[in-house]
Amino acid sequence: MKKPRILFVTSRGMPPEHASKITAGIDGAEFAYCPDTLEAIQAALPDIHGLLNCPRKLFSPDILSLAGDTLRWVHLGGAGCEEFMIPEFVESDIVFTNGRIIQGPEVADHALALLLSLARNIHLVLRNASASQPRPLELYRKTMLVIGVGGIGLLVAERARAFGMKVLAADEDYVPMVSAIERFIPLDRLSEGLAASDVVVMAAPNTPRSMRMMATPQFAAMKRAALYVSVSRGANTDTEALLAALRAKTIAGAGLDVTDPEPLPADHPLRSMDNVIITPHIAGLSDYNRERSATLMRANIQRFVRNEPLYNVVDKARGY
């Protein structure tokens, strides 16, 4: 029986030597490697069975067409996969897996870092702001609403609970009964959770349902002293509605690792606001995330070769 052929797209973040370590010793497949350019990928595509690490910006109907009928599996190293949800792929039988869950620890850490910086006025100190600063906040006994309780949201909840916070969870699905989460909020009652919370953390994936989930009505439902933190996808937040809420003091501040558009223009008003912290989509980086990504890819390659169910299969109809 002919071995499946797997194309591994290498990049600055996944150089050839790292890719070859991931595939080393796996005898049940043939591996090909190419750099992350459109021309190189197109040249290597015919007759492949698996496509690993194709850049989001290059995935297209042409890629699928050139790969042909043999393509059975596509894996994305990262978690956010909205760029892959083209009709030709969604409607196909090709299995799609991604890197969700494995970035949970570092993104959850970053969410708390943004929150603590805002709450303790660290951002103002670093900016050499005047001594007339708002009184710092303590998180103990405050209420946090986590929107999207997957691999990131659950770990945000865990960390917030360790600070003595009461944690509410809003999600499209019913969430596990874990001790860190006190109450589940259905998305159709999101305003209830927003009104009850001192901190709101956006950790939901970007899907048609979550697009601009946080807009003018949602910010209006929040407490005036509440803080907003966004670490998943910028498109989940209506940027102009957030700006208007901050200007009107409808909410007290925001910490953003993701924005819409991204990157946010250098002259955007959010960048000059004292009650806003913006980091350049770096929450998913850590000293361990590449190791976890490599472990997941190797495990899925072995399972693919053995014709076993893969880890982290994306429901293409739902978008995550």
Sheet holding 50-52: strands in order across? 30-35, 5-10, 50-52, 73-75, 95-97
Sign of CA dihedral 63, 101, 170, 134: negative
Distance of CA 256 to the CA centre of its chain: 13
| Count of CB atoms situated within 10 Å of the CB of 129 | 12
- Rounded distance, CA 84 to CA 98, Å? 11
Give me the residue label for tokens 């499946």.
Answer: 4
Which residues are the active-site residues? 233, 262, 281
Sheet holding 253-256: strands in order across? 183-186, 166-171, 143-147, 199-202, 227-230, 253-256, 276-278
- Tell me, letter by letter, the H, E, C secondary structure of 34-86: EECCHHHHHHHCCCCCEEECCCHHHCCHHHHHHHHHHCCEEECCCCCCHHHCC
Amino acid at the residue 121: N
